[in-house]
């Protein structure tokens, strides 16, 4: 196989790019790039019942959005193509014929009903269901009889007896299986399409794959693939199986966990940054040396050490992802943050799609107020709600501020100073608050909190002079007058 590191990510075009699959792709990508090897995308599309239109294109689009680039694949070609399994059927057939000729595989004519009855009987006897080998050694007459009945055969691999399969897993160390754990397994289905474990082994050999990093659910597939490598006298790749991703309750991440968004497309649509997703996902089951958690892709490539792949399940923490994305948003330029956020304000009907220059300038100023606070683009709609309300429903916490005895004096004083402003600006508003302090002798929270609550309806928020400026003269006067009426 040579010394070149060649890894593959092999998506099925069955839908959107899932967090778990994205992690598999990222780890393979980082492993290859760290060691100067090649990263290959191979599309496993033989399960036509589950394939969806546009599934492959969707997978590739969101891998690219995350920042991954590959050296070979169906979209760019390469020396070892084709890179879609449905375009490799003639290759698989050659090896099926060889196995049949050598007696290492055979045709099985059992129906689904017969196989299910066999499994039911085994379960009833307390056995682990597996194929019994009932059609392992059919006579010519039996074969003719089954074919006369119109039965379509599957093709099964003849599992060697009394054989031990051991492989040194990159993550878990030595793992051992006995051949007696397996019944003769199907390598070609009744419809003539090769099964996953057979096709994968053929492809990995032909594409000179040196290392296979994948989820732990594939551990039991590994000995089957090793059987195929052994049957043809090929060297198997080195395997590594990553641990499960769990939710906060330490349950396996399920697509039914609706409180956790699980597809990369969802995060993109919410206004998460690809660099943050790349960072967060890479730390699901792998850890760097030290306490630092924020890295660029280039830094990850440099420091990625497969020895630090975790043997414990990874916990998907949505709050941690929000925090991490906020760190990246803080580092982003205002233009980038506007691009991330503005579409959500338009989609929510807060701003028109066709804005004039003055409206666009106002929108940019508004988003800039929340640049440091924003966790993801769509959050801007909730954060800026106060700027689009016609009426304010004051919370109990806000009313507690407005009931303080100095509030009427402070608000009346602020309204007078605010009305004296000739040209509205954050600086002029700041000066009017300072003048209110001087006139009323109130300062600190006694001064700022009543003004903040009366003008914004909130006890916490962005820089007050900037918020008042963006709300505008008419709204501010109306809100302060309404509060003065309210607390009479």
Tell me: cis bond preceding 63? Omega within 30 of 0 counts: no
**Which residues are paired to 155 by β-bridges?**
107, 188
Give kind and range of the element (H or E) at residue 58: helix 55-66
64 in active site:
no
Rounded to 5 degrees, φ, ψ at 20 are: -65, -40
Cα–Cα dist 56/74, whole Å? 10
Which residues does 424 contact at the CB level (< 8 Å), separation at least 6? 469, 472, 473
Cα–Cα dist 382/388, whole Å? 10
Structure tokens at 204: 């990995």
Tally Cβ neighbours within 10 Å of residue 296. Answer: 12
The catalytic residue among 64, 252, 255, 438 is 255
Closest to 334 measured CA to CA, from 293, 381, 286, 372 = 372
Q: Concatenated DSSP letters for 7-40?
A: EEE---SSSS-BHHHHHHHHHHHHHHHHTT-EEE
Cα–Cα dist 92/233, whole Å? 16
Q: Which residues of 377-414 are buried (b: 16+ CB within 10 A; e: fewer)?
A: bbbbbebbebbeeeebebeeebeebbeeeebeebbbbb
**What is the rounded end-to-end Cα distance, in angstroms, of the chain?**
86
Indicate which residues carry an active-site annotation: 255
């Amino acid at each position: 196989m040579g010394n070149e590191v060649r890894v593959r990510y092999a998506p099925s075009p069955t839908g959107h790019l899932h967090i778990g699959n994205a992690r598999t792709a990222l780890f393979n990508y980082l492993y290859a790039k760290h060691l100067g090897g090649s990263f290959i995308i191979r599309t496993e599309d033989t399960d036509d019942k589950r394939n969806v239109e546009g599934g492959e294109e969707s997978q590739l689009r969101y891998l690219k959005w995350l920042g991954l680039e590959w050296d070979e694949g169906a979209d760019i070609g390469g020396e070892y193509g084709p890179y879609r399994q449905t375009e490799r059927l003639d290759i698989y057939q050659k090896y099926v014929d060889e196995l049949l000729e050598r007696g290492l595989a055979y045709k099985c004519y059992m129906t689904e009903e017969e196989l299910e009855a066999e499994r039911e009987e085994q379960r009833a006897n307390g056995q682990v269901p597996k194929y019994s080998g009932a059609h392992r050694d059919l006579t010519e007459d039996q074969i003719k009889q089954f074919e006369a009945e119109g039965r379509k055969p599957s093709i099964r691999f003849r599992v060697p007896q009394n054989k031990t399969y051991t492989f040194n897993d990159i993550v878990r160390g030595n793992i051992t299986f006995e051949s007696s754990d397996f019944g003769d397994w199907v390598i070609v289905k009744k419809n003539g399409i090769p099964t996953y474990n057979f096709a994968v082994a053929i492809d990995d050999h032909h594409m000179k794959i040196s290392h296979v990093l994948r989820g732990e659910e594939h551990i039991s597939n590994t000995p089957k693939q090793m059987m195929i490598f052994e049957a043809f006298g090929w060297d198997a790749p080195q395997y590594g199986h990553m641990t499960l991703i769990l939710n906060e309750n330490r349950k396996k991440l399920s697509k039914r966990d609706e409180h956790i968004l699980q597809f990369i497309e969802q995060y993109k649509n919410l206004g998460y940054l690809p660099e943050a997703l790349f960072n967060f996902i890479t730390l699901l089951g792998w850890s760097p040396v030290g306490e630092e958690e924020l890295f660029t892709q280039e830094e990850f490539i440099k420091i990625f050490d497969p020895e630090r792949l975790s043997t414990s399940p990874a916990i998907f923490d949505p709050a941690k992802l929000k925090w991490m994305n906020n760190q990246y948003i803080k580092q982003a330029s205002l233009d980038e943050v506007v691009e991330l956020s503005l579409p959500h304000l338009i989609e929510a009907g807060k701003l028109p799609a066709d804005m004039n220059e003055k409206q666009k300038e106002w929108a940019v100023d508004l988003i800039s107020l929340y640049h440091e606070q924003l966790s993801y683009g769509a959050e801007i709609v909730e954060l800026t709600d106060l700027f689009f309300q016609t009426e304010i429903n004051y919370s109990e916490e806000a009313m507690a501020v407005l009931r303080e005895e100095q509030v009427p004096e402070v608000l009346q004083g602020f309204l007078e100073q605010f009305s004296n402003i000739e040209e509205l600006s954050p600086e002029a508003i700041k000066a009017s608050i300072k003048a209110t302090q001087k006139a009323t002798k109130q300062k600190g929270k006694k001064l700022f909190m009543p003004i903040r609550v009366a003008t914004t309806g909130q006890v916490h928020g962005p820089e007050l002079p900037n918020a008042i400026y963006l709300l505008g003269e008419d709204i501010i006067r109306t809100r302060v007058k309404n509060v003065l009426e309210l607390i009479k």
